[in-house]
Homo-oligomer: A and B are copies of this chain.
Amino acid sequence: MKPVKRIKDILKSTAPEDSLLVRGWVRTRRDAKDFSFIELGDGSSVANLQLILPKGIIEADTFKDINTGTALEVEGELAPSQGKGQKWELLVKEIRVLGPAGPDYPLQKKRHTDEYLREIAHLRPRTNKYGALLRIRSEAAFAIHTFFRERGFYYVHTPIITGNDCEGAGELFQLITPGPGAACGLHPQAPLKTLAEDFFGKPASLTVSGQLEAEILAHGLTAVYTFGPTFRAENSNTPRHAAEFWMIEPEAAFMDLSGDMDLAEDMVKSVLTQITSGCTEDLELFDKFVSEGLLLRLEELKKKDYTRISYKEAIEILSSAEASFDFMPLYGSDLQTEHERYLTETHFQGPVFVYDYPKTIKPFYMRINDDNQTVAAMDLLVPRVGELIGGSQREERYDVLVSRMKELGLKPENYWWYLDLRRWGGTPHAGFGLGFERLLMLVTGIGNIRDVIPFPRTPGNLEF
């Protein structure tokens, strides 16, 4: 079975072809007197290839098998289309059914709800919408790799299984290895091996971030980034949270908070530019059926300067806003979703960096500013999605870091290697985390994280 041309490329043909082999799945079939019209798709584009199938070249039995969902191999003549709506069509000479689909096929030609499609996540990649999403997802990943590579950032793999991250124990997935002979579907109350016998000889959990290890690598290679899965065992059912999601975490030596914001803004704009030029047809689908005005909004995100305000200014703006918030904007508290929306959607009507947060609401590793009250942290808030990026300059001063750890009740000896980075050849350095699924929600206008990841993991959902 030799590879054949993809339909996306066939549709771009510049000349007819006498004999062309195509493979794909039937999207629709419409029967006329002497011909059947079949729309054939192979997942390479929203647009299908129209097949003209003359009556009589196939057996009735085979014909019966050609329904929405059927996999076909077709040979024919590629000719300029007589009909409207497409430039080319394929006049079928031979047709082979590779895998039929009966009338019970769950994806008939009609609009299905997102909820229904989540239940058949093994079939939804065959729909126009999820096909388009998956192509954009692939292109977005490549755009991210391209952006960082061109800037001299090296792609690194930080560990998934970790013995660190002791801070948020309640939000961690912990690991066990079943004893010898344990059956599949081990019940959590079944007897487990003792700690000493356990695989790693100490408690292990799934990473919530590769940052600490990325800092190690940035002190070798100057500039690195991760792109890998991260996990939260948070039992929250919201449209923006998943238990398993992919993060991109650049980290660079010799970079301060201002450089960190420059990098984040450049990255978002560069990635959007690559996606809007590489996935035009797919984005048009989302503009038309999912989020009206999407394309215009993406153009603005590519052009606009992103506003930068301190946390203090943000609180001032919110405090004097003529809006009724459920939560009062208070200096020293986290910004709530309603506050983020007000800043980005009402006040600035565009992306906003908020920087210099009170140290009381931020973790130990962020660099203390000269006021000794705030840290060099930044969040990038965007309309509709909220927090897209969170980053900071890291505390590079050994003594300051140690006293900050003690202040927060952390044991410095658990962070011996992290402190070593400050003992020898430490540098001012910074980085951020971008949630890949959040980026895709921004790019496609899809409102639920469950619909931008092929097989979402959320509380109670572990199918597929």
Contact = CB atoms under 8 A, between A and B. Distances in A.
24 contacts: A1-B256, A1-B259, A43-B154, A71-B425, A99-B422, A99-B425, A99-B427, A105-B425, A125-B219, A125-B221, A134-B220, A135-B154, A137-B155, A137-B157, A142-B149, A160-B244, A161-B244, A161-B462, A162-B462, A163-B462, A170-B180, A175-B176, A199-B243, A204-B462
Contact of A181 (B69, B151, B170): B170
Chain A interface size, under 10 / 10 to 19 / 20 to 34 / 35 or more: 35 or more
B424 A102 contact: yes
Contact of A173 (B24, B99, B161, B228): B161
Interface string A275-294: 00000000000000000000
A356 to B, nearest CB: 17
A217 to B, nearest CB: 5
A364 interface: no
B424 A99 contact: yes
A81 interface: no
Given A161-B173, A216-B454, 6 more contacts: A42-B222, A121-B216, A125-B219, A125-B220, A177-B233, A216-B464
B233 A199 contact: yes
A428 B72 CA distance: 11
B1 A163 contact: no
A420 interface: yes
A72 to B, nearest CB: 9
A423 B138 CA distance: 27
A85 interface: no
A220 B43 contact: yes
A199 B173 contact: yes
Interface string A65-91: 000011101000000000000000000
A187 interface: yes
Interface string A137-160: 110011001000101101111111
Interface string A439-459: 000000000000001110101
How many chain copies does the complex carry? Answer: 2
A71 to B, nearest CB: 4
A457 B222 contact: no
Given A155-B138, A159-B457, A454-B158, A1 B199 contact: no
B459 A200 contact: yes
A417 B138 CA distance: 24
A261 to B, nearest CB: 12
Nearest to A151: B3
Interface stretch (A12-20, A47-55, A189-197, A315-323): A189-197
A154 B130 CA distance: 13
B462 A201 contact: yes
Contacts of A102: 424
Contacts of A170: 178, 180-182
A350 interface: no
Contacts of A32: none
A420 B44 contact: no
A122 interface: yes
A396 interface: yes
B154 A254 contact: no
Contacts of A198: 188
A167 to B, nearest CB: 7
Contacts of A298: none
A176 B200 CA distance: 16
A457 B172 CA distance: 18
Contact of A99 (B161, B181, B426): B426
Contact of A71 (B157, B172, B217, B427): B427
Given A221-B131, A424-B102, A462-B163, A157 B453 contact: yes
Interface in A430-445: none
